Structure 1
Amino acid sequence: MFIYNTAQKGVTDSLDTLLKTISIDAIPDLKENGFMEAKDVSSELIEEFGITPLYVKIFYYDKIKNKIIKETLSHSRKSYIFDIPLNVEQDLYNVNYFDKDIYRVSSIILLEDEKTKVIFQLSTTKVVDSPYLNQILTSLLIANPIILILMLFIVNVLINTTLKPVKKVVEDVHSISTKSLTSRITTEKIPTEIEELVKTFNQLLENLEEAFNRISSFSSDASHELKTPLTVIRGEVEVALRQERTSSEYKEILEDVLSETVRVQETIEQLFLLTKKDTNELKANFREVYLDEIVLDCVSQIEKFATKRTVNIKIKEIIPATIFANETLLKIAIDNILRNAITYSKGSSEVYISESDNNLEYLLTIEDNGNGISQDDLPFIFERFYRTDKARSRQQGGTGLGLAIVKMILDLHNYKIDVQSILNEGTKVIIKIPKILDE
C-alpha cells in the first residue's frame, strides 16, 4: 500500500505539473487577445497538449471594484467542477490544486495589472486508471505473496538453524534420568549465547549426581550395616522370650541388646555425617583454633575408654600451634584415630601422641603397638565398611566407618594423612596440617 500510494502521489504530482504548464502556456494568448472565451482556449490547449477532457474557466477580476466583471466557461454543464474557493489574494503564477469528485482542478493568477487580475482555472479527470498504476498494482499483488512466502521460508530456515542446538540440548536433557546422571550435555557446536546455560545445567547435573550418590550410598550403607545388629537384637529378644530366665540372664541379654542399640545409633550418626560430605554446612565455622588444646581435649574425653581397655595414653611432645579448622570436625577425626589405636592395641600397652613441625606444616602423630595392618589391607582402610579383620572388628564394636569419616574430614580441611603399619607390631598415623601463611 505504501508503494502504491507513493506511485499514485507521483502520478498526481505529474498531473499537477502538467496543469501548471498548460496554464502558463496560455499567458501569451491572454496578453495578445485580451478577453478570451474559455471554449476557444480549451480547444487550442486540447489540440496542443492532447489531454482530454480539459475544462477551462477564466475569471476577470476588477481590483478597484473588488468583484468579478466577467467569467467564461468552456463547458457550462461542468460548472460544478469549479465550485472551489476563489483566492484573489494569491501570488502571481502560484497554483492552488483541488480535488472535486473524479476531477483535479488547478487555479492560478496568470495576469495582473493595476486594474485587473486574470484567474485561470483548469480541470481534468484524475488519473485513477493509469496503465502505470495498474501495472504497479498488478506487480505488487503478485510479488507481495511471493515475497511473503519467501521471507517466511527464509525466517523458518533461520529459526530452525538457530534453534537446532537448543532442540538438541532439550533432547539431551529429556534423555537423562536417575539411571544416567553421569551423562553430560556436550558443548560442542553450541552457540556462545547458550553455552553458559549448558555449563550451568551440567554443573546442576553434577550436583544432583553427587547428592543422589550420597543418598544411594546412605541407603545401601544403612541397609548393609544395620542388618547385623538388628538381627542380633532380634535374636537376643527371641531367645529371651522362649522360656523363663533368671534376673542375671535377663540382665545379660539386655546388656547385649543395649550394646547393639548403641552400635546402631553410632552407625546412623556416622552415616549421616558421611552424607554431608562436601557441603557448605561442614565448611561453616572454620576459624583459627589451637591444635594442642584440641589434642588435649580429645585425650581427656577418651581416657575412660582407654582405661577400660587397659591402654595407657602417653603424650610424648606437644607444641603450641594455631591452625585453621572446624574444631568439632577435627575432634571427631582425632577421636576416631585414637579410638582405633586403643581398640586394636594389646592389653596393658601404650598409645603415644606427639606434635612436631617443619617449615610448611604441623605433624600430629598417633602411634600404637597393637595388631597392626597388613600391607595388602593398607590401600583400602579408608573405604566404607572395610575391615582388616571382620570377625574381630564386629566383636570389638567397629562399624567400618571410622577411618572413612576421618578421611572425609581431613580432605575437607585439605589435610593429608599417612598411615604406616606392620602386622602384629603396631600402627603409626601422621596427620599433616598446613601452617597458616601469615604465621
Structure 2
Amino acid sequence: MTRLNIRWRLTLWYGAVLAAVLVIFAVAVDLLMIGLLQSRTDGNLDAQLTVIEGLIGRARDPDELRHDLNLDFASHPVFEMQVTEDGDRSWLRSERIAETGLPMPAVRPSPNGEVVYEDVVIPGFGHGRMLSKAIVTPYASLLVQVALDAEVNAKHLGQLRDVFLSTGPVLLLAALGCGYLLARKALAPVERLAAEADQITATRLDRRLPTPNPDDELGRLARTLNGMIARLERSFGEIQRFTADAAHELRTPLAALRNEAEVTLLAPRDPAEYRRTLESMLEEIEHLTRLTENLLYLCREDALVKPSFEDLRLDLLVRDVTDHMRAVAAAADQSLTLIEPLSGCIVHGDRDQLRRLLFNLIDNSVKYSLADGRIRVGLEFRQEQATLFVEDTGIGIEAEHRPHLFKRFYRVDSARPRTSSATGLGLSICLAVAKAHHGEIDVQSEPGVGTRMTFSLPARAVEPGGRDSAAEVAALE
C-alpha cells in the first residue's frame, strides 16, 4: 500500500486535531449551556416560590390563604404551582394540572427551610423542572411546589446543537483546504531543495543548495546537505587524485620494463648483457610489487576492513623488527641502534599493521640518510601511553613539505638522491595504522641535521612474570 505524501499527512493530522478541538469545544459549550439554562430556570422557580412564601406569610387564616392562592396563582401563564397540606389535601393547584397535579418530590424537604430541585415528568406537559419546599404555618404544615416546563430549554439546546452540526463539517472542510494550502506552501522550499539536489551529480559536486534562512529548520537541513556534498566532493577528489597518481606510478615502471625489453631485443647480445637487463627488470618488478601491495593495503583501509586486534608486547615487536632491519641499514653503510632498555608495555593492536608501520619508518630513515648515517630506535612508556620513535641523521625535510608528508604519493624530490624505490605511500600507510590504533604520529625534522618520527598509542604496563609476557615471547619465537 502506497503511503500518503507528507503534504497530505500533515493536512490529515491538522484536520484530525481540529476535529477533536471542535468536538471538545462543542461538548463544553453544550454542557455550559445546559448549566446556564438550568441555573436560570432554578432562579425563576426560586423567585416564584418567594412570591408564594410572601403571600402565605401575610395570610391571617386558612380560608384567606386558600382564596388568595387560587386568585393569584391558579391560572398563571408560565408556572405550574401546587400547595398541599402534608402532601395530601390540596390548597392550590394550577388549572392546567388540576386533574393530575404535580408529582411528590423524591426526597421530601425538611421543615427547616430546605428546598429540593429536581427534574420531573409533568403529566400532560412532559419534562419539567420542579422546586419543592415545606412551610410551617400556625394552622397547617404546607408543601409548596413550583414547576416550569423544560421544553423551552430543550428547544434552545436543540437549536444550538443544530448550529454545531451544520457549521462544524463546513468549518472542518474549509480548515482542511486551508491546511493543505499551508502545508503546500510550507513544503515548497523542500521541493525546491529536492530539485536543486537533483541537479548535483558526481560531475557537478561543486554546486551547493541555497540557504535563504540558515537559522530555520530548512536552512539547517540545507547546511547539513551542503556539508555532506562538500565531504563527497573532497572524497571524489581524493579518489580521482589517487587513481591518477596510481596510474602514473604504475605506468612509469611498466614503461621502463617495456623499453628495456625492446632495446634488448633490437640486436643479439651476449649472456652478460641479458643478465644485466633481467636484473634491472627484476628491480622494477620488485618496485611494482611493493607499490601494488601498498595500494592494496590502502584500499582495504578505505573499505574499513576490520583488523585483527590482540594484546601484544610492543617492546618485543620493536626489538624483532629492528633486528631484521639491521641488515638493510648495513647494506647502505649505516648504523641502526636500538636504545636500551626498552620500556616493557602491552598494546591492543594488529601485529602485522604495527610491524608494517615500524618497517616503513626505519626504511624511510635508511632511504633518506647518507652513508655513515646513524639511525636510532627507542620505546618509552609513561601514563598509560607508549611512544615509539625513529630518529636519523639524514638530509632532513624542509618545513613547507612537512604538512604534506602523509598524503598519498607525496614526495619531496630533493629528498631522494640515492634511490628510486620509494612509492610515496609509506607514510600514508603509517598514518592509517596510527588512526586504526587510536594513536598519533608526528614528525620533527631539520634540513641537514636529521628527522625524528614519533608514534604514540594507548598501552599498559607488563605484569612481571604474567601470562602476557610468556605468551608474547612464545609468539615471536
Shorter-chain TM range is 0.5 to 0.7
Shift of 1:206: 7.1
Q: Distance in 1 between matches of 2:460 and 2:230?
A: 32
Which of 417, 422, 425 does residue 441 from structure 2 map onto? 417
Residues 388 and 189 (structure 1 numbering): CA distance in 2 closer, same or farther, change over 3 Å?
Answer: closer
The equivalent of 2:451 in structure 1 is: 427
By how many angstroms is 1:335 displaced?
A: 0.8
Q: 2:226 & 2:263 partners in 1: Cα distance?
A: 55
- Structure 2 CA distance for partners of 1:304 and 1:161, relative to 1, 3 Å: same
| Corresponding residue to 2:316 among 293, 296, 312 | 293
Amino acid of the residue matched to residue 315 of structure 1? L
Q: How does 1:264-279 map to 2 (within 5 A)?
A: 264-277=288-301, 279=303
Specify which of 215, 220, 239 is matched with residue 244 of structure 2: 220
Asked if 1:322 corresponds to 2:349, the answer is: no
Q: Deviations over 1:131-190 (max 9, x none)?
A: xxxxx9xxx9xx999989956743541341353244234223302211344667669577
Contact 2:377 2:390 survives alignment (8 Å):
yes
Coordinate RMSD, CA, aligned: 4.0
Is it true that 1:354 corresponds to 2:378 in the alignment? yes
Change over 3 Å in CA distance of 1:189–1:312 after alignment to 2? closer
1:199 and 1:268, CA in 2 relative to 1: closer, same or farther beyond 3 A?
farther
Provide closer, same or farther for how the CA distance between residues 338 and 241 of structure 1 changes in structure 2, counting only shifts above 3 A: same
- Offset of 1:388 from its aligned partner? 2.8
Please give the alpha-carbon distance, in whole angstroms, between the structure 2 residues aligned to 1:354 and 1:314.
Answer: 9
Percent identity over the alignment is: 29
Match of 2:101 in 1: none
The separation in 2 between residues aligned to 1:314 and 1:242, in whole angstroms, is: 49
Counterparts of 2:281 and 2:392, CA distance in 1: 31
- Aligned pairs (5 A) from 1:305-344: 305-317=328-340, 318-344=342-368
The answer to whether the 8 Å contact 1:387/1:393 transfers is no
SS of the aligned residue for 1:395 comes to coil
Q: Indicate yes or no: 2:262 matched with 1:238.
A: yes
AA aligned to 2:236 is F
Q: 1:277 to 1:149 in 2, by over 3 A?
A: same
Structure 1: how far apart are the matches of 2:224 and 2:376? 49
Q: TM-score, normalised by structure 1?
A: 0.57
Q: 1:240 to 1:162 in 2, by over 3 A?
A: same
Q: Which moved more, 1:260-269 or 1:199-208?
A: 199-208
Q: Contact conserved, 1:381 with 1:403, CA < 8 A, in 2?
A: yes
Give the residue type in structure 2 aligned to 1:297: D
What's the counterpart of residue 381 of structure 1? 405
Distance 1:409 1:183, change over 3 A: farther
Within 5 A, what are the aligned runs for 1:105-254? 153-154=177-178, 156-181=180-205, 188=214, 209=233, 212-254=236-278
Consecutive unaligned residues in structure 1, runs of 5 or more: 1-92, 94-135
Q: Is this contact kept in 2: 1:416–1:433, CA < 8 A?
A: yes
| Residue type at the aligned position of 2:319 | L
Amino acid at match of 1:239: V
SS of 1:239's equivalent?
helix
Determine if contact 2:334/2:371 at 8 Å carries over to the other structure. yes
Does structure 2 conserve the Cα–Cα contact (< 8 Å) formed by 1:352 and 1:366? yes
Which stretch has the larger CA shift, 409-418 or 320-329? 409-418
Post-superposition CA distance 1:214-252 (Å, at most 9, x none): 532331121232232122112211211211111111111
Counterpart AA for 1:311? Q
**Aligned to 1:430, what secondary structure does the other structure show?**
strand
TM-score for both structures, normalised by structure 2: 0.53
Report the counterpart of residue 365 of structure 1 in structure 2: 389
**Cα distance in 1 between the residues matched to 2:416 and 2:231:** 38
Runs of 4 or more consecutive aligned structure 1 residues displaced over 4 Å after TM superposition: 143-153, 182-192, 197-211, 276-279, 436-439
Which of 395, 398, 403 is 2:422 aligned to? 398
How far off its partner does 1:253 sit?
A: 1.1
Tell me, in whole angstroms, the C-alpha distance in 2 between the residues paired with 1:199 and 1:301.
Answer: 52
Larger radius of gyration: 1
Q: Secondary structure at the match of 1:417?
A: strand
* Superposed displacement of residue 269, structure 1: 2.3
Q: Which amino acid aligns with 1:395?
A: T
SS of the aligned residue for 2:397 comes to coil
Contact kept, 8 Å, 1:311 with 1:350, in 2: the verdict is yes
1:348-401 CA distances to partner (integer Å, 9 max, x unpaired)? 443221112333532212122233333443343323333333583683411122
Q: 1:400 to 1:422 in 2, by over 3 A?
A: same
Contact 1:215 1:275 in 2 (8 A): no
Query: SS of 2:416's equivalent?
Result: helix
Deviation at 1:291, TM superposition (A): 0.9
CA distance in 2, matches of 1:256, 1:431: 36
Equivalent position SS for 1:171 = helix
Over 3 Å counting, the alpha-carbon distance change for 1:184 and 1:390 in structure 2 is same
Q: Deviations over 1:49-97 (max 9, x none)?
A: xxxxxxxxxxxxxxxxxxxxxxxxxxxxxxxxxxxxxxxxxxxx9xxxx
User: Size of the alignment, in residue pairs?
Assistant: 300
Q: Secondary structure of 1:292's match?
A: helix
Q: 1:229 touches 1:264 (CA, 8 Å); kept in 2?
A: yes
Is residue 312–residue 351 contact of structure 1 (8 Å, CA) maintained in 2? yes
Superposition deviation, residue 292 in structure 1: 0.9
| Structure 1 residue identity aligned to 2:454 | I
Contact 1:420–1:428 (Cα < 8 Å) also in 2 = yes
